[in-house]
Amino acid sequence: MSLLGIGSAQIDLILPKETYRPGEHIVGYFLIKGGTIEQQIKRIDSDLVMIDQATGIEKVIDTVTLLTSKLIHSGELYKKSLTYKLSSTVPITTKEISYRFKTKITFSEGVESRDQDIIQII
């Protein structure tokens, strides 16, 4: 069933706040909740994406990739820390420009789990 995404583990990026400044360190963690069966995690990818509302263009600013061979058991809660430094030249959030982290967890078998977290750069 996990091959179809039913009962698969889920990922959630937990950030302490929603607003950051250019050059600031973002310190949070990935919370992985085990599904109905155990699954082998292969990797976690989190893209910082800038969205231009005027043009509809989404641009990946940077990517954090964690390679792992962690086995997540049924119902287990697992935390993996994240530390990310924003570029000091990243444009601030405006009506036209917005940001979000798009996170995905990949398993050796089963469907990927995805999460999105909106942040503001002020």
User: Domain limits at 89?
Assistant: 2-121
For the cut 50, the answer to whether the pLDDT of residue 43 exceeds it is yes
Which CATH number is 104's domain given?
A: 2.60.40.640
Note the pLDDT tens digit of each residue in 67-76.
Answer: 999 999 999 9
For the cut 70, the answer to whether the pLDDT of residue 95 exceeds it is yes
For the cut 80, the answer to whether the pLDDT of residue 93 exceeds it is yes
How many domains does the structure of the chain reveal? 1
Per the prediction, the chain carries an average pLDDT of 92
Checking 88-94 for CB contacts under 8 A at 24+ apart, the result is 88/22, 88/23, 89/22, 90/22, 90/50, 90/61, 90/121, 91/50, 91/121, 92/22, 92/121, 92/122, 93/120, 93/121, 93/122
CA–CA separation, 16 and 118 (whole Å): 12
